[in-house]
């Protein structure tokens, strides 16, 4: 729930016209108060159409990215995440770097109790690359569904 203070627009992007940031470093990740801080629960963001560029060839890379986290004081505001993710579209970056950067940035901004990211990249040079990162300790009562993305098998 957004508080009255937050409604007075401490947000720079939510409810406003926003341009896509020119780079992930320039993107602003915003947060919202977690009104259920005493209840351990999981939040999942599914990003089925992530794109970036190969830093060597400039060819497009495609991935499905899943972000699971157990909030602490803050929730990640989804519009700011969308703009942040979109800022990778024209950036030359290796798959491993994408997942680690996203994970560390979200971790820095909202300081979740636990966070896990799976990056499932489509083949580059005939080899799909899956990258996983996590941080923190998962509280015992929290149910974490499987990511259920199978290994790439082609057609």
* Of 61, 68, 97, 130, catalytic: 61
Tokens 């992530």 sit on residue: 50
- Which sequence spans correspond to the domains of the chain? 42-139
Tens of each residue's pLDDT in the chain, 155 residues = 455 554 555 655 555 567 888 899 999 999 999 999 999 999 999 999 999 999 999 999 999 999 999 999 999 999 999 999 999 999 999 999 999 999 999 999 999 999 999 999 998 888 899 999 999 999 999 999 998 887 766 65
> What is the C-alpha to C-alpha distance for residues 27 and 66, in angstroms, rounded to an integer?
19
Which has the closest alpha carbon to 112: 37, 50, 26, 35? 37
Using alpha carbons, list the distances in angstroms from residue 80 to 60, 103, 134, 141: 23, 15, 21, 29
Q: Active-site residue 54, yes or no?
A: yes
Report the alpha-carbon angle 86-91-97, nearest 5: 95
Is 61 among the residues known to form the active site?
A: yes
Instruction: Decide yes or no: CATH 3.30.1130.10 for domain 42-139.
Output: yes
């Amino acid at each position: 729930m957004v508080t009255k203070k937050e409604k007075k627009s401490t947000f720079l992007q939510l409810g406003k016209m926003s341009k896509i940031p020119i780079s992930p470093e320039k993107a602003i990740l915003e947060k919202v108060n977690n009104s259920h801080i005493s209840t351990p629960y999981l939040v999942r963001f599914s990003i089925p159409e992530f794109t970036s560029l190969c830093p060597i060839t400039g060819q497009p890379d495609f991935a499905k990215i899943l972000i699971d986290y157990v909030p602490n004081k803050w929730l990640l505001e989804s519009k700011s995440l969308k703009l942040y993710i979109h800022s990778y579209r024209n950036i030359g970056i290796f798959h491993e770097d994408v997942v680690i950067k996203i994970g560390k940035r979200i971790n820095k901004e909202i300081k979740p109790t636990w966070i896990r990211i799976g990056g499932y990249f489509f083949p580059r040079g005939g080899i799909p690359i899956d990258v996983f990162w996590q941080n923190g300790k998962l509280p015992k009562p929290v149910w974490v569904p499987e990511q259920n993305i199978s290994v790439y098998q082609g057609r």
